[in-house]
Amino acid sequence: MGVSTAPPPPTASKTPQKQHLEAVGAYQYVLTFLFMGPFSSLLVFILLFTSLWSFAVLYLVWLYVDWDTPNQGGRRSEWMRNQAIWRQLRDYYPVKLVKTAELPPDRNYVLGAHPHGVMCTGFLCNFSTESNGFSQLFPGLRPWLAVLAGLFYLPVYRDYIMSFGLRPVSRQSLDFILSQPQLGQAVVIMVGGAHEALYSVPGEHCLTLRKRKGFVRLALRHGASLVPVYSFGENDIFRLKAFATGSWQHRCQLTFKKLMGFSPCIFWGRSLFSATSWGLLPFAVPITTVVGRPIPVPQRLHPTEEEVNHYHELYMMALEKLFEEHKESCGVPASTCLTLI
């Protein structure tokens, strides 16, 4: 078993300056996650009615020409993935990456990432940046984190997230990646998606998985091995207001998700200036992302339902085993069980 290198210093040994830098690293991720997309869209629109309208028009022309890029490989930037701010984000919680088995680069992989959490912090840190040395821990693999396709409709923000290797979670986009002649492509899919974010309650481990089989079909079409991934602590960095299933609030969340593609959640963290006040700074709870053993999958251009169900069942069993093997070492009580819905 391998663990990401360069562990953060213990909290007691951190200088005030280091603690402040870590808080800034965590806070900037929250702000960009929540506000950069709407703000950049609004900014482009406002510029159209100012003396700088030509810049907005030029960008919109560029956006039209570049529209299909997210589905055709995107523009990944190793410079962005290696920025120092991501190491501060890593150290704030801290975030760790654990390897349980070799993933040879002579094949492709579909990694199922669980749980979604509120902001997918562990997955972005481990797969979309090099803060935990993914390329050293898994040499030859090229990770691609698949996210909500609607994010790539937002001007400027789409270019920002593409630079980390984020891709739309659409058939066209994922088929393009796994059809490349160069092997070692690793598509990371948050299987539970926005619906699972509604269950991101601290201390609970509830996954939306039993009816989610699209990622298995994707793996079968391309003969890509399935790999279960579990991020312990992902649900614990924010407090979440969970509404009872069937309540009018919960029905509103589901209706909004059907219309917009994501679920609105009521969540909160701590204040940037005080640990006892509420705010948007996440709680500094360790996040440990454990990458499981690969499940070999044959290539079937037109997989049958029996084949899909078979490998989906194998995947669920492997995920439950991964959870049981690592939960106690990651601070989860031995009596806690994984719930699949």
pLDDT at residue 12 above 90? no
Question: Per the domain annotation, does 105 fall within a domain?
Answer: yes
Kindly report the backbone phi and psi dihedral angles of residue 107, in degrees, each rounded to the nearest multiple of 5, phi listed first. -155, 170
Q: What is the CATH number of the domain that holds 294?
A: 3.40.1130
Question: Per the domain annotation, does 294 fall within a domain?
Answer: yes
Question: Per the domain annotation, does 104 fall within a domain?
Answer: yes
pLDDT of residue 98: 98
Question: Per the domain annotation, does 306 fall within a domain?
Answer: yes
> How many residues would you count in the chain?
341
Pairing of the two strands 166-168 and 278-279: unpaired
pLDDT of residue 236: 96
DSSP 229: E
pLDDT at residue 299 above 80? yes
* Reported confidence tier of residue 2, pLDDT bands at 50, 70, 90: low
Question: Per the domain annotation, does 2 fall within a domain?
Answer: no
pLDDT of residue 5: 47
pLDDT of residue 262: 79
* Segment 189-201, tens digit of pLDDT: 999 998 898 989 9
pLDDT of residue 231: 98
* Segment 219-265, tens digit of pLDDT: 999 999 999 999 999 999 999 988 888 888 888 888 888 888 778 88
Mean pLDDT estimate for the chain:
93
* Segment 93-146, tens digit of pLDDT: 999 999 999 999 999 999 999 999 999 999 999 999 999 999 999 999 999 999
- Contact criterion met (CB below 8 Å) for 174 and 167: yes
- Contact criterion met (CB below 8 Å) for 150 and 268: no
- Contact criterion met (CB below 8 Å) for 141 and 93: no
Give me the percent of the chain exceeding a pLDDT of 90: 84
Please give the Cα distance from 161 to 77 (Å, whole number): 10
Q: Total domain count for the chain? A: 1
Question: Per the domain annotation, does 168 fall within a domain?
Answer: yes
Kindly report the backbone phi and psi dihedral angles of residue 144, in degrees, each rounded to the nearest multiple of 5, phi listed first. -130, 115
pLDDT of residue 143: 97
- Arithmetic mean of pLDDT, 26-41: 96
Question: Per the domain annotation, does 9 fall within a domain?
Answer: no
pLDDT of residue 54: 96
pLDDT of residue 296: 98
125 three-state secondary structure: helix
Q: Which domain holds residue 304?
A: 16-340
Question: Per the domain annotation, does 3 fall within a domain?
Answer: no
